[in-house]
Chains A and B, each alone.
Chain A
Amino acid sequence: MAEAVQQSFAPEPDAMSRRSFLKLAWGAAGAVALAEAGLVTYRFLAPKAVAGQFGGVFSVGRVEDFPPGSVTPFNEGRFYLVRLADGGFLALYRKCTHLGCAVPWDPAQGKFVCPCHASAFEMDGDLLNPPAPRPLDRFPVTIENGEIKVDTGQAIQRDHTGPNDAVYAEE
């Protein structure tokens, strides 16, 4: 009986047999189901930003509150507001670019020194001493009518410091 069926419905040599087609279809359906389950799990577990906390926008004060050449920590926002000697503003993420320790500002030495692996950074975040691979990350700073705002939503990574990193108040 089976032989007879095979003979009468013998597929062309290159054509896909019913069996291998079904195998492929089941495999594809299984892969799609797995991908869906994976996506649902990922979306369920993925972190969400919470407004008003680290990750949001911080109003830190007015331009004249920060004398040139000062470094002011904002622990809530995890950043230092740096006013360079030439008046430019920078918001430096305090997380060490090496392995994530909180880098303290050392006023006596005038630099950031990481307690974990002795990486050191200049006042503008530039890398002084490895093992850190790059300068401190920065957050975007905006100044409107003398009010300074720092957006901690996404830290900006940079391989080198540049002249456009700092933001200046309009005269």
Chain B
Amino acid sequence: MTLPDPRPDSLPHRVIESIQRDDLPLVDDRSRMKYVMNNLVLHIHPAKVAAPTLKFTYTWGLGGLAILLMTILAVTGVMLMFAYTPTPQSAYNDMLRLQTEVMFGQLVRNLHHWSGNLLIVVAFLHMLRVFYTAGFRPPREFNWVLGIMLLLLVVAANFTGYLLPWDQLAYWAVTVGTSLLDYVPVIGPAISRLILGGPEVSGATLTNFYGLHVAIIPLMMGGLISFHIWRVRKDTLSIPRRLDEPPPARIEKVTTLPHLVAIEFVFAIVMVALILLWASWVNAPLEEAANPDHSPNPAKAAWYFMGLQELLLHFHPVFGAIVVPGLALAALAVLPYLRFDTDAEGVWFRSHTGRRTAVVGALTGLIVTPLLVLLDEYALDLPVLLPSLPTIISNGWVPLAALLLMLLAYYAGVRRLFRASACEARQSVFTLLVVSFVVLTVIGVAFRGEGMALMWPWEVL
């Protein structure tokens, strides 16, 4: 038997061909689908996707943006590891050296810092997008829960990274943040001692946080993200619809390559350009070296914890740090498992009524939250009004019960006044709480001055 062609291709050509499993060029849908399936990177996508889900203003590319940010964080993070030693003696000097001596050190640090902060915002917005388009309906309930775990890991990654520069900001934000743990009943103090490596933030804490930041948390995130994306691939995206539009009977499908991949590529390029531009102009903050003898005034936690810190100013610590956030997280996780009485998957804000009541919820949160803060700051002193009760009841159970009753009344009111379904009214309550949390964060970041005293807007400017 003779070979079909006595003169084989050139050696370089054969080497290149051997790397690529499929024939090129991609001439038809079949070869494009095969290419996606057989490609190491692209096979995180299905071979075909529903054409309507490609609409950018449906997903806003937020999940993909989160992955892009994590990639930037991994690359810049590994680079920073080569210029940084996690000890109290050298950490701060390494930061100074990064900014003055290391070539592009400031840029790499800026990229890492801003990408990390942006990731919190993007992950949060991604969650809001899925909620408001009811993307968590079966079979995607558990992927919503995975997403919440990922959000917590993103916050943990940011928090452990916050300590590493070892400046005043880092030291006291982490002191305040870890002190919240002391209020967890029974096991709290032991956990706090374990992660701090002693009674206070010290060199041992820096070692622990470094290990968590560069190894443990990224590994956990890697595993969960794989799970998360695999579920998206298996469960597919929800199909966007207009208001009052019935679910489509037949959905047109297009090949992932080039339709989805092209959009992702362009979006990634634009975002990388924007982040580079921002990181070139705006430096990551660095304050004076950490000084355990002197707390700055005011000593604030990281910005994403300021909503929590604001709660702490109003509630007994067990409630501000544990009960309220715990309840909120549990409610968030259980959301996709609740009875869903409106057919709204893929519809922004559920329905006409859903849109009206969501606006009502947002306005209520925007107006009532500052009023409640002012009321508690200047007028209402529950421990003085109820002197016979311990503060954990007078400043914990009592205000929490009052707030929960108010929420219940609000829910019933929305259902009755707007004839809202349970799912529309729930969306309104969710909106109210999200807006309240954002308002509390803004108050904590911008309107708290020396001694955490409240400032008026004209005093801030």
Contacts and interface: CB of A to CB of B under 8 A. Distances in A.
B138 interface: no
27 contacts: A42-B194, A45-B208, A46-B194, A47-B198, A49-B198, A55-B198, A75-B292, A75-B293, A95-B199, A98-B317, A99-B175, A100-B178, A100-B200, A101-B175, A101-B295, A102-B293, A102-B294, A104-B294, A114-B295, A115-B298, A116-B298, A117-B312, A117-B451, A130-B391, A131-B312, A133-B316, A155-B199
A66 interface: no
Given A100-B179, A102-B295, A131-B313, A117 B452 contact: yes
Contact of B299 (A49, A78, A101, A133): A101
B204 interface: yes
Interface in B404-461: 450-453
B89 interface: no
Contacts of A99: 175-176, 179-180, 312, 317
A130 B297 CA distance: 17
A91 B180 CA distance: 24
A45 B182 CA distance: 19
Contacts of B317: 98-99, 131, 133
Interface string A90-127: 00000100111111100000000111111000000000
Contacts of A75: 292-293
A115 B391 contact: no
A54 interface: yes
B193 interface: yes
Interface string B171-197: 010011011101000000000011011
A111 to B, nearest CB: 14
A75 B391 CA distance: 32
Interface string B156-179: 000000000000000010011011
Interface string B99-120: 0000000000000000000000
B391 A133 contact: yes
A116 B436 CA distance: 23
A115 B451 contact: yes
A91 to B, nearest CB: 15
A108 to B, nearest CB: 15
Given A46-B194, A47-B204, A118-B452, A101 B391 contact: no
A94 B296 CA distance: 15
A103 B294 CA distance: 8
A115 B296 CA distance: 7
A155 to B, nearest CB: 7
B308 to A, nearest CB: 11
B61 interface: no
B352 to A, nearest CB: 45
A39 to B, nearest CB: 13
Interface in B271-299: 292-299
B200 A78 contact: yes
Contacts of B452: 116-118
Nearest to B315: A131
